[in-house]
Structure 1
């Protein structure tokens, strides 16, 4: 009932706010507020985004069909100073009362505050768009030119202002009659340079300008860009865009709608003294490449004392050369003896920056002596500092840790083995607080963690044999070797963690990237497994409830964790030494299985390959898609060792290495993201779908907790908290719910509100299940297509603030379809603010 009254109250407040706003408050007599633009092309309504973008005036933006920003603007006073003064002067004694309470300065500050708030309303809001005849005529002419540029040379355009039934409002109808399009009937190409002519003829089939194609000005722009890129990557170092002169024979425009097009490419125009001289474009070759490895402005005039020649490159240094020549030349794509190419320079910039050893390089070209075609390339490299030290401090919070203060420091050493390698050594520590349910007198700061990592980056593949033929250097091959360890005390199960990694990365193209982990080792050891029931409170509550109902303990008592009474009760029930009902036995077995799973030590040795394709062109590109897939195999190498070395087995028949059963499984994931920009605005429709499955086999009956899936959270299904969704229809009875199969899809509509504030409406669907493992609970298992009816649905809305370099996100998710309830009773069961989940996140979830 309270939830219903809250909804009604909120609805009434919103209606009152909307009704109190007057959209035409700032529209003067004789003016008309623009409410809609209509484009009619050849008697049919058009939604051509490019054509609609030609309009100089557009209606005020709307949020859910409501002019929110317009009404925010209307809340501002036209003259806030006069309003404030009138309020003071309305009562002769009011000013005296203010003077007795405040100083003259404070009273002036009241005026300034009123003025500042008023300006904020205007800046945040949006002034009413008043129909302007001059801008309307400019739009009409612009539409005419737009269609003429598409080949409709006889296009005509008109407009009509249609008043609305509502006061002081109107729409504008733009009417365009295109006529018939003109077609390119002939194309004549004239190129003065013989070298340019040869290059053009090799790729003329890729031309944007073709006979039989409808005339389009955009094709001419695209062809000029294509030819400029082609020539400058085919040896024409000094080619200029303005040398390309496409022309249309206007005198050929006739009733047959045919056009004669001429494409002329002139020679280079250069100034000599007071005259302009024409020079024929020629193919340029790279004669020499000089590399200066320690260039600074201070030593630019000094004589280089050390130099070496390696593969036709000459490398200079002001001091003894600190780099192996191959480490430098592997990042250079400008090769002596080859023709000039813009792409080679771009690749060189990118690869040198990727070394993380030099600042952004400076690449210059000059002619050798009096030659007009031979170029000398000078590459100036400025090294970064040999060592750099960093510090970081964070405040953390997690399900186990109430408060935490973490610090970290890192030392970076560059050019470790004279091959532009980077060594990074880091250390971290945490001091935190967590309430222990077993100890009411524990101190506030009772958590500590310390860890260290060492990581070595190679700007090439560190491999026993040469891989350049398979993965050439333009793919940016890199190798990462890392080792890490950490120790946690009084947090959870007091965990020791050791990791080791050998990873290879390469980028075949701008859109594709690969990552291959040859070896990924993780060893997890729990030092305080007896603390399990202090950490996982829900497991303790379920066990304690059975102990109470079965009279194992008195009604006013609880199982004592510290004395081991919880473990003793489980042992008594499992061994049938203490009788319980079948339902109670099932609960105890479930708790015991969960306890074993989360307290067992883990040894994971795996290999993994990851592929990502992303066709996003830039940060502002809102029409793109991304696809990622991953395959991981774990335990196969250790299984080979176990069978040949005859390793010992535990009481469950699993091989042990270093006293720990190793994990064996296969895991694969597919992740697809698609963004659409809507109606030429900044509004974006974002979609994501994910499928992941991990199948245990051989030495494992289940997936390690560190490799399992969970549902819920700020980047998943936002109507459930992290780890609180699923598995299946099992009603989320555990503290940390996880499983080995996950299916999820998300859709989100993102739109501008005002200023840097953004809004979003979203729907998240998905769940996790157990499959092919040792879980027997049918509510948690995936049983084919019928289990898809257990997919949870959460809907909601979000508010975001864009700080340019990151986005602060606040989302509210409502449980719309909850599989924890019985079939037929799952829709809108907890659809209210009281059961909503409030998420705070950084940047967009997908």
Structure 2
């Protein structure tokens, strides 16, 4: 080993030299690559992004210390066209050979083609040019650092920089900041020339962002300027602007304190060719005019119809198409009120939410009939959207179910149905496909089909027999939706007919950051038309059952010529085992439990469902805009089903009929009864440079009672998949430690936790490291198997853990994502064999998705 040490050292030195040379491959002679940049504040190194971003030049990006994008850029040819010409001229026969196949012009242009320069152009685009040290940008960085600390109270700060050579064509810049002592506000006074404004300011003076004794910070002064402007413009001061607020600071350098004077002078008004100072006035609204069916050219907007309603003047260039109240309900500007920017913003938002008009235009003008010049006329111009909109669509498709399919969709939007700004949406859809897997005695090409229709009617108000305006005010933008839909499937799954419908209300508060939705009634009826096709659809269940039948079945009438269970035989075999027909299978045996579970599952999925429910959803977010990466979302939901049907059946004696399980039926249908609640919390932390930590936690439970012993499949929970635990495919995890043996594993209790660290690789390419944990269990229902059930805190050891790495590409309008997930902790295994048995390339679970999982 000692004899090899010099060789290893030599190889290390040679590798280091080659690596260093490759970094500066594109650095011009006499220039320096910015290899490192450091900011030292008061002898301490600072790495906060808000400070490091102040430097105009920063080193090339790196991943774990390796400048990948710089190396990609260096791999590209500097000038592919010149290299191509040199290659052509190196051997004269090359040009002649190419001319046999291409023209002279095509040979010349070949150097600009993808075949010659495509790889290099890609490397340049995906890579990153070397950051060359620029003295002017270094000086600018110094000034920006000084300005930053000045704006944060260090008025006497000093900034310098050092340039240190790190090797061939590589240097480091060190910025050194000495802040000195910070300045504090010693006193605050004001000089407001307009008495009315001085009185207004005094009303909210306690809300000021400037306090005596606080450290000077420019952001506080800027926030105070905005606060004052907002206060005045919401209190009738129409002509007030942010630039009317000025601050004067008198500093005492000996004690690092300052006296702040707020100054608001009277406004300058141009009269003829001279500027005259006049006090600000407080304006009230004298008229509110609403112009509908207008054009962008106001000169052509001639009123042909008009109405007066609740002090609003409504005009239309054609026949007035709206009931006056439908328009005035969306207007917050009122006659006699003070001018207010808030009222204008609320009006604009409410009118836009009607979806009747293009973006509304709201203008103010001084009332010429007012001799005091203290009133305003508000004019609201509305350009109607088209009353009817027809949207057709058609596409060809293929899937596991159909080899070939044609699907079509058509929707019609009818605005202002009842002249109160209602919107009616009617849509139809259909699909016709061909499948060779199905029996087709008539040799029909299109042997599977699905069609349906939906209708939605939206009201821009609460449509309810009881007046709730005192609770849900129009500032909350309430809406009512009445919906219904039907679907019919043939030769798809169990061939279903479904009917759905409901009435729901939604509203919001605090600038739409708190959203509420109350579904008064939701109806969902599903009828299975082809229950005999069950084992042709759920093949995993059939295969498992068939293998067990090979061992325990003795009835030849239940199998085909290949000794495989027929569909009818599979059902008979389940009944035979559950009724104790085979002495070798007792309730305590694992095989018995599997067969019984498959039977219970089949019974659950072939039964018709009627769900009549009510629900309430609350959603809160702190996200300010699309670029905000430091926020949280909280969602809570509670749902109850079956109570109305139970009361109806008992009151009218309609549910005397019962099923084989003893459940009551209403109109011949066994109805569901349960209560369901869930909470979902998502938090994002922004670490800068587009590095984000995202966390999600979810808990949900649905408890059957009364007329039900289980939860309908459509209301149950599943685990796994691209938006859940990515170490498992969707529906393949759980329940509990059962091992996901069924085709679609679901239960009525779910816990899920996910953490994901997202970081940028380069350009629009991002990556993420993630850990997902969670599972589903049966609880308080008709499943008693401990492997499936939640048995208190002891069941938490059955929480599955998946981990992996993901890649995302940001297309601006959406993000394409794929994740490589691995089973890190698998509760289906024996206790001593659960950790890290699913982490290898052959067991990778690949998940595709659009946008982020949470």
Q: TM-score, normalised by structure 1?
A: 0.93
Using the TM superposition, name which of 491-500 and 179-188 deviates more: 179-188
Distance 1:772 1:108, change over 3 A: farther
Using the TM superposition, name which of 134-143 and 456-465 deviates more: 134-143
Instruction: Name 1:100's counterpart in structure 2.
Output: 100
Find out whether 1:566 has 2:574 as its counterpart.
no
Instruction: Name 1:642's counterpart in structure 2.
Output: 649
Deviations 1:223-273 (A, max 9, x none): 111111111111111112221111112xx4221112111110011112222
Using the TM superposition, name which of 102-111 and 73-82 deviates more: 102-111
The separation in 2 between residues aligned to 1:395 and 1:472, in whole angstroms, is 47
Instruction: Name 1:228's counterpart in structure 2.
Output: 229
Distance 1:514 1:236, change over 3 A: same
Instruction: Name 2:259's counterpart in structure 1.
Output: 260
Distance 1:719 1:103, change over 3 A: farther
Aligned-residue offset at 1:416: 1.1
Look up the SS of the partner of 1:96 in the other structure. Answer: helix
Instruction: Name 1:533's counterpart in structure 2.
Output: 535
Instruction: Name 1:519's counterpart in structure 2.
Output: 521
Instruction: Name 2:459's counterpart in structure 1.
Output: 458
Instruction: Name 1:91's counterpart in structure 2.
Output: 91
Q: How does 1:549-628 map to 2 (within 5 A)?
A: 549-552=551-554, 553=556, 557-561=562-566, 564-582=568-586, 583=589, 584-628=591-635
Contact 1:438 1:534 in 2 (8 A): no
Instruction: Name 1:8's counterpart in structure 2.
Output: none
Distance 1:740 1:21, change over 3 A: farther
Distance 1:713 1:146, change over 3 A: same
Distance 1:397 1:702, change over 3 A: farther
Find out whether 1:81 has 2:85 as its counterpart.
no
Instruction: Name 1:783's counterpart in structure 2.
Output: 791
Deviations 1:722-743 (A, max 9, x none): 1111112211111111111111
Pick from 657, 665, 669 the counterpart of residue 660 of structure 1: 669
Look up the SS of the partner of 1:788 in the other structure. Answer: helix
Q: How does 1:806-821 map to 2 (within 5 A)?
A: 806-821=814-829
Aligned-residue offset at 1:343: 0.7
Aligned-residue offset at 1:577: 3.9
Pick from 669, 678, 681 the counterpart of residue 672 of structure 1: 681
The separation in 1 between residues aligned to 2:803 and 2:446, in whole angstroms, is 39
The separation in 2 between residues aligned to 1:313 and 1:300, in whole angstroms, is 22
Using the TM superposition, name which of 78-87 and 240-249 deviates more: 78-87
Instruction: Name 1:4's counterpart in structure 2.
Output: none
The separation in 2 between residues aligned to 1:477 and 1:695, in whole angstroms, is 31
Aligned-residue offset at 1:150: 1.2
Contact 2:546 2:565 in 1 (8 A): no
Q: How does 1:304-703 map to 2 (within 5 A)?
A: 304-369=303-368, 371=370, 372-394=373-395, 404-434=405-435, 436=437, 445-510=446-511, 511-552=513-554, 553=556, 557-561=562-566, 564-582=568-586, 583=589, 584-646=591-653, 647=655, 648-678=657-687, 680-703=688-711
Find out whether 1:772 has 2:777 as its counterpart.
no
Deviations 1:345-403 (A, max 9, x none): 11111111111112211111111115421001111112222211112335667775666
The separation in 2 between residues aligned to 1:551 and 1:484, in whole angstroms, is 45
The separation in 2 between residues aligned to 1:664 and 1:50, in whole angstroms, is 55
Aligned-residue offset at 1:320: 3.1
The separation in 2 between residues aligned to 1:840 and 1:799, in whole angstroms, is 10
Aligned-residue offset at 1:156: 1.1
Using the TM superposition, name which of 100-109 and 405-414 deviates more: 100-109
Contact 1:270 1:279 in 2 (8 A): yes
Distance 1:556 1:30, change over 3 A: farther
What do you get for the CA RMSD once the two structures are aligned?
2.4
Find out whether 1:755 has 2:763 as its counterpart.
yes
Contact 1:21 1:71 in 2 (8 A): no
Aligned-residue offset at 1:470: 0.5
Look up the SS of the partner of 2:795 in the other structure. Answer: helix
Contact 1:437 1:534 in 2 (8 A): no
Aligned-residue offset at 1:415: 1.1
The separation in 2 between residues aligned to 1:347 and 1:589, in whole angstroms, is 60
Q: TM-score, normalised by structure 2?
A: 0.93
> How many residues are matched?
826
Contact 1:559 1:566 in 2 (8 A): no
The separation in 2 between residues aligned to 1:276 and 1:506, in whole angstroms, is 49
Deviations 1:79-123 (A, max 9, x none): 222222222333343333333344434433430123454334223
Aligned-residue offset at 1:811: 2.1
Aligned-residue offset at 1:817: 2.0
The separation in 1 between residues aligned to 2:726 and 2:241, in whole angstroms, is 54
Pick from 718, 729, 742 the counterpart of residue 721 of structure 1: 729
